[in-house]
Amino acid sequence: MQFDLRQLARNGGDDHLDRTFQPAQFDTPEAKDEDYAVVAPVHLVLDVHKDRDAYRVTGRVQTRLRLECGRCLEPFEIPVDSVFELRYVPAPANAGPGPAHHGHGEVVEAEVAEDDLTTAYYKNETLDLGELVHEQFVLALPMKPLCSDACKGLCPSCGTNLNKGTCDCKPAWKDPRLEALQGILDRNKES
């Protein structure tokens, strides 16, 4: 999932890409730590425009992701259809080996103050499309993943999925207003 930027020079500084990646291509060891799994082909469309030693990249990524519900822990899927505009600049020489540091490096932010584009880095004259797509997925994830707004979650006592069944556990809390009412009823009974 790499795009060779040297190819761009041969095309006069602009290039259009239309690629589809299979879910299995995202099934890497690092992906085990992610909060999502890719469950449909990933369709990526990109326009790359060379601007001195930077590259302006606009595009769109579409797929489906599987997430885990934060309340009932059941898997569910969301569609992803994200458009993005990024500026790729050369990775700082002192970044060293290892994964490219993306996003909010202070040095780069000062350099690109003339526009609001999100900054990413390229190395070895190559755009890492896997990293690009990953960043878009992270941005597309909901703050609180829920299978449904109405998800009832799990019983805190016995773990029953309350969307699928009921249990005999009593709610741990009591409404103080009802408690007061119960007191009145009890007194009336006594008299």
Please report, as ranges, the residues that interact with Zn ion according to CB under 5 A.
Answer: 69, 71-72, 147, 151, 155, 157-158, 160, 167, 169
| Nearest-approach distance from CB 31 to Zn ion, in angstroms | 23
**And the tokens for 82?**
């994200």
118-122 and 75-90 strand pairing: parallel
Q: Which is nearer to Zn ion, 56 or 152 (CB)?
A: 152
Q: Which is nearer to Zn ion, 43 or 152 (CB)?
A: 152
Nearest approach in angstroms of CB 138 to Zn ion is 21
For Zn ion, the closer of residues 54 and 162 by Cβ is 162
To Zn ion, the closest distance from the beta carbon of 17 in angstroms equals 37
Which residue lies nearer to Zn ion by CB, 158 or 172? 158
- For residue 171, the minimal CB distance to Zn ion (Å) is 10
Structure-block tokens of residue 81: 């259809």
Amino acid in the structure at residue 121: Y
Please state the closest distance from residue 123 (CB atom) to Zn ion, in A: 40
* Contact assessment for residue 75 and residue 68, using Cβ atoms and an 8 Å cutoff: yes
Residue (60 or 66) nearer to Zn ion, CB: 66
User: Is the distance from CB of 88 to CB of 117 less than 8 angstroms?
Assistant: no
Q: Is the dihedral of CA 98, 100, 103, 106 positive or negative?
A: positive
Q: Rounded to an integer, what distance in angstroms lies between the CA atom of residue 69 and that of residue 58?
A: 32
Identify the DSSP state of 95: G
